[in-house]
Structure 1
Amino acid sequence: MEVTHMTARPTGEMSALLDELLAERAVLRLLARYANLVDYGDASACALLFTEDGYFELQGGERNRLNPYAPFPYPEDYLLGCGGRPTDKGFRFEGHAGVRGFMAGLARDRLRLHAVLQPVVRLGDGEAWVESQMVALGKNPKEDHRVLAFGRYFDHVVHTQDGEWRFRSRLCEL
């Protein structure tokens, strides 16, 4: 059986739909790559998934609208020591250095499995907004496997000049 290849390029509406699907797929790859890099403890590579002026913000505890009675998942001195800046709802880690500092702290003492679930992508002109759920499972030598965190991500992602999709902001609501 001979296999033939399509040589005609899609035009008009079909081309626009294909561009949209490819952009959405690239955004979903960014979410998966982030989860894998956090799990593998590669803080430097994880930080490069953000724009230079991008940030990661962690919210939880009494600041959390999902579960206002949940304790904040990390001690305040730990978050400040990783370079976090307090906000009215949590802690923000700004730029590549800030994101790298927080991610390096996560990798120090724990094996982790981090899953991003049910992402909903809304595309704009060269940018996207994503809402997804997350769960992180982990273990360290002193404990059994357990749920470390669960919550939601609210992302603003941009298509950068180098052709990559990167986080401009990632809000993690625990």
Structure 2
Amino acid sequence: MERALLDELLAERAITRLIHQFIRLNDSGDYEALASLFTPDGRFARPTTPDQPIIGRVAILASFKARPPRLTRHLAANIEIDLLPDGQAAQARSQIILFTSPVAGGPVSLLVGGFDDELVRQGEDWLFRSRQGSLLMKGGLQDAP
């Protein structure tokens, strides 16, 4: 029983790390590494366009490279992970806050949303099979008087 609990905790830690890696790679513009976090046939739907899924690692990479340059900082919170009984798949939910600006010092937009993820274990690694985004709120931030 003790070994099963340890395996579960290690899987949850690896999945949490994967979610944080996605954010870091997105904010740093390392889209090749970001795309490699998905299975070859992975599916990604941005929170701003949840009804327009991008299917396949190659298409996911192309979609990120096609975006205009901007400054972003994503924050993830309330990560919940449910391992499936076989230990080779999981589901996760997280809330996301995104601050974005077209240039340093420019106006800042704020988006609040979330992701519903399906994950699979491949060898020692966990990969996204699907990341389904949703948007809850959006707006701009103003300088304080």
Mapped to 1, the partners of 2:47 and 2:20 lie a distance apart of 21
| 1:92 alignment partner in structure 2 | 53
TM-score (norm 1): 0.71
| 1:45 alignment partner in structure 2 | 33
SS in 2 for 1:146: strand
SS in 2 for 1:91: coil
State the shift of 1:140 in Å.
Answer: 1.6
Aligned-residue CA RMSD (Å): 1.7
The answer to whether the aligner puts 1:138 opposite 2:126 as a matched pair is no
Aligned residues: 132
Contact kept? 2:35, 2:58, Cα under 8 Å: yes
Mapped to 2, the partners of 1:59 and 1:37 lie a distance apart of 17
Q: Could you tell me which runs of 5 or more consecutive residues in structure 1 were left unpaired when the two chains were aligned.
A: 1-12, 61-71, 73-88
Mapped to 2, the partners of 1:42 and 1:14 lie a distance apart of 38
SS in 2 for 1:90: coil
SS in 2 for 1:120: strand
Mapped to 2, the partners of 1:112 and 1:105 lie a distance apart of 16
Contact kept? 1:46, 1:103, Cα under 8 Å: no
SS in 2 for 1:109: coil
Mapped to 2, the partners of 1:172 and 1:98 lie a distance apart of 17
SS in 2 for 1:122: strand
SS in 2 for 1:32: helix
User: Could you list the runs of 4 or more consecutive aligned residues of structure 1 that deviate by over 4 angstroms after TM superposition?
Assistant: none
| 1:164 alignment partner in structure 2 | 125
Q: Deviations over 1:121-151 (max 9, x none)?
A: 000121110011111101123832231x221
Looking at CA atoms only, which structure, 1 or 2, has the larger radius of gyration? 1
State the shift of 1:102 in Å.
Answer: 2.0
SS in 2 for 1:99: helix
Q: Could you tell me which runs of 5 or more consecutive residues in structure 2 were left unpaired when the two chains were aligned.
A: 136-145
Contact kept? 1:121, 1:129, Cα under 8 Å: yes
The answer to whether the aligner puts 1:54 opposite 2:14 as a matched pair is no
| 2:79 alignment partner in structure 1 | 119
SS in 1 for 2:33: helix
The answer to whether the aligner puts 1:173 opposite 2:122 as a matched pair is no
Contact kept? 1:39, 1:114, Cα under 8 Å: yes
Q: 1:145 corresponds to which letter in structure 2?
A: V
TM-score (norm 2): 0.84
Mapped to 2, the partners of 1:51 and 1:121 lie a distance apart of 19
Percent identity over the alignment is 33
